[in-house]
Chains A and B, each alone.
Chain A
C-alpha cells in the first residue's frame, strides 16, 4: 500500500474540473424512439431470406398480372399444328445447356419438324395452347384463390376466436365445441362433398378451402386474446371506463395483429398447395380455365416425353410456396424475436 501511494503524483485541486450535472436531463433517453412496426421492419430488413421471399412474391405477382399480356397468344387458343412444342426463347436458344432451343428429349427440333416460325417461351401443350400464357394465367388464378381463401379465413377466424375468448364462459364453451366437431370431420371429405354439391369453379374452391381453413386462425386469436384480456393494461383501461369496443380496438387487436399477419402468411401457401392438390385430383378448375394444379395435372400424363409441360408450372408453384414460407418465417422473427432460438 505505502509503496503505491508514494508512486502517485501529487494531486491538486486544479487538476480537476467539476462535471456538468443537469438534473433535468436525468431522465433523458438518448436513443431514437422505435415503435413496434418500425422495430419489426428493421429486423425484417436484415433477414435475407425474407427479402428474397418478398422479391420472389413481387416478381411472380407481376408476372401473374402481366405475363399473359406479354405475347399475342391467349390461354385458350388451340392449334393442333403446333401441339406439344418444347420451350424456345429468342436469344437463349443458342445457349445449349438451358434446353430452350426447341429441341425435345429425343433430339429432334420440333419447331423445324412442324414448320413453326414463332417462339413459345414455355412451349405448348397437347392442344397447342401457349404454355407461358397458361402458366401465368394459372398463377393468377392460384394466387387469387389463395388470397381470397386467406382473407375469408382471416375474417371468420379473427371474429370467431376473438368473440370466443373475449366473452368467455358459456359462449367460449359452445364455440369451442363447434370447432372440435369441425376438426373431427376429415378435411378432404368435407371439401370433396362441398365441390360435388356446388359447380366446380373458382368460387366453390374458395368456399371449400374456407369451410375449415379458419379454424387455425380462430384458435390462435383465441389463445392470444385469452392471454391478453386479463393483462393489467387491459384492466387499467377498464378501470378508466373503456367500452368493450375500445378495449378490443385499442388494446387487443393491436397486440394480436402480429400473430394474425404471421398466421395469414402461412395460410396462403397452404391454400395454394391445397388448390393445386384439388386440381391435380380433378376436383378443381375446369378447362379451358387453368390453375397451376390443373396445368401440372395435364402435363403429368406425358411427363417422360414432354417434361416441359410439368417443369415450368412446378417451378412456379415451388417458388411461390418457398417464398411465402420465407416471408412468414421472417415476419415471425421480426414480430417476436424471443421466439428465435
Chain B
C-alpha cells in the first residue's frame, strides 16, 4: 500500500472550518483542518467523542455547509455554489457509510428500494429488469442473497444492515467513501466481517476510504495513514505503523496508552498517560501548527518543540 500513497492526491482539505451557532455562543466543531487523502488509500481519523470527526466527514460530503476552507476532490472544489448537475456528478463520486445500522435504513422501504435509491436518482438503470439485476449484483457483492431484495430492514441483523448500507453506497460506483464509524455499533464478531468486506471492496474496485473511528486497534488494522484529532484540530498525522511505533504528540501517546491488550503481563504494567490540554498549552502563547518532523509524519508543535523533535530524530 505504501507504493500507492506516493500517487496523486484524490482529496485535498485546506483549512476546513465548521462552526455551529448554539444560542449566542459558537461551537467550533472543526477548526482549521488541513490534510490530503491519496488515491487508493485508507485514511483513518481517530479521536475522542465530540472532537469533530463525524462533523469533518459530514462537512466533506456537503451534509453541512463549511464555515470556511476548501475541499478539493480530483482537482475540483467541492464546496461553494454549484448547479444541480455538478452536484449530482459529485454525489456519485463520493459516498458515505453511516454509523448506526438501525437508523440508516428507512424502515418503510424494501431492501431493493433502499439499494436502488442512488440508481433511481441518477437514472442508472434503463428499465426495471436492469435495476433489479443491479440490486441483485450489489447484494451478492456484499455477501447477501438475492432473496433479500424484497424484505424490510427490520428483518436483518446489525451486520447485515450495515452491508445493505454499503451496497447502497456502492450502487452509484463511487471513488471515495467516507465511513463514519461503520463498525462501532456492531458486535465485535461482526466488526471483522464488515471491515474485511470493506478491504475486499477496496482491492476490487480501487476505492479510497476516509475511515472515522474511535477503536484504535481497528483503525490500525484498516488504515494506511492515520490522523489524530483533538478539539477540532489534527494534532498528529503519520503512516499507521509509524504513528503506533513513535507517537510524538502527548495526546496521541495518551490515546495509545489507553488501548487494552488481552495480555495480563502487559496489563499489569500498563500505565495510563493522562493528557490535559491546558497543561500542555504553550507558555509563550504561540499557536501550534502541523509541522513535518519525519517524512510523512506531521505533528502539531511550536517552533521550539519542532527543533527539539528534529534534534532527537
- A and B: interacting chains: yes
A232 near B103 (CB under 8 angstroms)?
yes
CA distance A29 to B58 in the complex (A): 34
Contact A250 B109 (CB under 8 A): yes
Residue of B nearest to A37 (CB): B108
In Å, the complex CA distance between A96 and B143 comes to: 75
Cβ-defined partner of B108 (8 Å) among A29, A36, A238: A36
CB of A239 within 8 A of CB of B96, answer: yes
Interface residue A254 (Cβ < 8 Å from any Cβ of B): yes
Task: Using A34-B152, A235-B58 as known contacts, list a sample of 4 further A-B pairs with CB atoms less than 8 Å apart, ordered by residue number in A.
Answer: A31-B155, A241-B88, A241-B92, A255-B107
Closest 6 CB pairs of A and B: A241-B91, A232-B104, A254-B108, A232-B98, A233-B106, A240-B118
Please provide the chain B residues from 54 to 75 with a CB less than 8 Å away from any CB of chain A in the complex.
58, 61-63
With both beta carbons as reference points, the residue of chain B lying nearest to A233 in the complex is identified as: B106
Contact A233:B103 (CB < 8 A) given known A29-B155, A239-B91, A250-B109: yes
* B145 contacts partner chain A, Cβ-Cβ < 8 Å: yes
Tell me the complex Cα distance, A29–B145, Å.
Answer: 10
- The secondary structure that dominates the A interface is helix
Q: Is the CB of A36 within 8 A of B107?
A: yes
Contact A28 B145 (CB under 8 A): yes
A239 near B117 with CB under 8 A, answer no
Contact B96 A231 (CB under 8 A): no
When the two chains form their complex, are residues B165 and A236 in contact, meaning their CB atoms are under 8 A apart? yes
Known: A239-B63, A240-B117, A246-B121. A27 touches B96 (CB 8 A): no
B105 at the interface (CB under 8 A from A): yes
Can you list 14 residue pairs at the A/B interface with Cβ under 8 Å? Answer: A27-B145, A29-B147, A29-B148, A36-B108, A231-B104, A233-B104, A235-B98, A236-B104, A238-B63, A239-B62, A241-B87, A241-B92, A242-B121, A255-B108
B27-64 residues with Cβ-Cβ distance < 8 A to A are 58, 61-63
Is there contact, CB below 8 Å, between B155 and A33?
yes
Within 8 A of B (CB), among A202-251: 231-233, 235-242, 246, 250-251
Closest chain-B Cβ to A34's Cβ sits at a distance in Å of 7
Q: Does A91 contact B (CB under 8 A)?
A: no
Task: List residues of chain B with CB within 8 A of the CB of A35.
Answer: 108, 110, 152
Q: In the docked arrangement, what's the CA distance between A237 and B110, Å?
A: 14
In this complex, the interface size class of chain A, counting residues with CB under 8 Å from chain B, is: 20 to 34
Partner of A29, one of B103, B106, B151: B151
In contact, B148 and A27 (Cβ under 8 angstroms):
yes
The winner among A34, A36, A235, A239 for most chain B CB atoms within 10 A is A239
> Could you tell me if B63 and A235 are in contact, using CB atoms closer than 8 angstroms?
yes
How many angstroms from the CA of A246 to the CA of B110 in the assembled complex? 16
Q: How large is the interface on B (under 10, 10 to 19, 20 to 34, 35 or more residues)?
A: 35 or more
User: What total count of A-B pairs have CB within 8 Å?
Assistant: 87
Instruction: Check A24 for interface membership: any CB of B closer than 8 A.
Output: yes
Q: Report if B277 contacts A (CB, 8 A).
A: no
Chain B residues with CB below 8 A from A31, complex form? 155
A30 to chain B, nearest CB (A): 10
Closest A residue, CB atoms, query B139: A27
Near A by CB (< 8 A), chain B positions 171-185 give: 172
Evaluate contact between A240 and B121: CB separation under 8 angstroms. Answer: yes
Interface of chain B residues 82 through 135 with chain A (CB within 8 A) = 87-88, 91-92, 94-96, 98-100, 103-110, 114, 117-118, 121-122
Question: CA separation between A266 and B121, bound complex, in Å?
Answer: 37
B15 within 8 A of A: no
Residues of B within 8 A of A231 (CB): 103-104
Distance A254 CA – B108 CA, assembled complex (angstroms): 7
- Interface pair B100/A36, CB less than 8 Å apart: no
Q: Give A237 to B144 CA distance when docked, in angstroms.
A: 22
**Across-interface contacts of A232 in B (CB, < 8 A):** 98-100, 103-104
User: What's the minimum C-beta distance from B283 to chain A, rounded to whole angstroms?
Assistant: 42
Bound-state CA distance A231–B107 (Å) is 11
- List chain A residues, Cβ under 8 A from B150: 33
Smallest CB separation, A200 vs chain B (Å): 44
- The answer, yes or no, to whether B17 is at the interface (CB within 8 Å) is no
Distance between A221 CB and nearest chain B CB, rounded to angstroms: 16
A28 to B95, CA, bound (A): 28
Cα separation A233 to B150 with both chains bound (whole Å): 18
A24-B145 contact, Cβ under 8 Å, with A36-B108, A240-B172, A255-B106: yes
**Contact A27/B160 with A235-B63, A237-B117, A239-B95 known, Cβ cut-off 8 Å:** yes
What is the distance, in angstroms, from A242's C-beta to the closest C-beta of chain B?
A: 6
Flag if B155 contacts A236 (CB, 8 Å). Answer: no
B102, closest chain A residue (CB):
A232
Nearest CB of A to B12, in Å: 20
B83 to chain A minimum Cβ distance, whole angstroms, is 13
Residues of B within 8 A of A27 (CB): 143-145, 148, 160
**Interchain CA distance A237-B109 in the complex, whole Å:** 12
CB B123 to nearest CB in A, in angstroms, measures 11
CA distance in complex: A310, B90 (Å): 70
B214 CB–A CB distance under 8 Å: no
Which A residues lie within 8 Å of B165 (CB)?
Answer: 236
Of B114, B121, B144, most buried by chain A (CB within 10 Å of CB) is B121
Within B139-176, the residues touching A (CB, 8 Å) are 143-145, 147-148, 150-152, 155-156, 160, 165, 168, 172
